[in-house]
Amino acid sequence: MNEKNRLGINSCFLNLDDPIKLFEIWMEKAKQTEPNDPNAVALATSSKNNVPSVRMVLLKDFNKDGFVFYTNLNSRKGNELKENPNASMCFHWKSLLRQVRITGTLSLVSDDVADEYYSSRAYESRIGAWASNQSQELKNRDELINSIKVYKNKYSDETKVPRPKHWSGWNLNPQSIEFWLDGENRIHERLLYTKSQNGLWNKALLSP
C-alpha cells in the first residue's frame, strides 16, 4: 500500500521542514540498495561564457552548510567555479527510483578541513593528487605513469605526503533542493525546498 504524507505524496518524503535531514535519510537508504557509490553525483558547472559542463564526482560530506566534494583546483570544473560559483548537483539512485537535485553557490572549504580529508585518503590517491595535472592533455599514458613514479620517490614516506595547494574541497551552499520519486505513466512526485532570505526553507509540490 502506498502510504501518503501530509502533502498527499509518498510517505518516503516524510513530513520534514529540513531538507538536509530528508537528504540524510534518503542517502542512508541509498547506501543499503545502491551496488556502487551511492554518493556519486552529477555536478554541472558553467564557464564565464555560459558554456555548461557536467561530470560525476563523489560527495564526501554534507551538513546544514552544504555539500562537499574534492578536486584539483586547476581542473576544468575548478577553473569554471573560480569564474562562476553557481552550480547544480543531481543524485540518481536507480535502485530506489529516486533523484535529488540541488542548486546553489560554491566556495572553498577551509585549509584545515581539506588537510584533514586529504590525510585520510589512501597513499596512492594522495600521490595521484600531485602527479595528475587534471584535465590537461597528456602526450601519452606513460607521461602520467612516470609522474606518479617521480612523486612516489619524492614522498616515499607514506605518512608524510603534504596536500598540494592546488587540491582542495568545494562546498555547495544550497538555495534549492528537489526530491523526486518515479511514478507510473511518468506521473512523478516532486517536492521542492527553497531557501528564503531569512534562511528558512519553504516547501512546494511540483508538477511532473
Q: Active-site residue among 76, 101, 126, 186?
A: 186
User: pTM to 2 decimals?
Assistant: 0.93
How confident is the model at residue 148, as a pLDDT? 97
SS (H, E, C) 57-84: EECCEEECCEEEEEEECCCHHHHHHHHC
Which contiguous run of DSSP H or E holds residue 36?
Answer: none
* pLDDT above 60 (res 176): yes
Cell of 23: 537528504
The pLDDT tens digits for 74-100 are 999 999 999 999 999 999 999 999 999
| Percentage above 70 pLDDT, the chain | 99
SS (H, E, C) 105-140: EEEECCHHHHHHHHHHCCHHHHHHHHHCCCCCCCCC
The answer to whether 186 is a known catalytic residue is: yes
CA dist 72 and 66 (Å) reads 19
Q: Residue 167 pairs with which residues in a beta bridge? A: 72
How confident is the model at residue 3, as a pLDDT? 85
Mean pLDDT over 160-172 rounds to 97
The pLDDT tens digits for 61-72 are 999 999 999 999
How confident is the model at residue 116, as a pLDDT? 98
CA dist 158 and 179 (Å) reads 42
The pLDDT tens digits for 12-69 are 999 999 999 999 999 999 999 999 999 999 999 999 999 999 999 999 999 999 999 9
The pLDDT tens digits for 126-154 are 999 999 999 999 999 999 999 999 999 99
Mean pLDDT for all residues in the chain: 96
Q: How many CB atoms lie within 10 A of CB 62?
A: 19
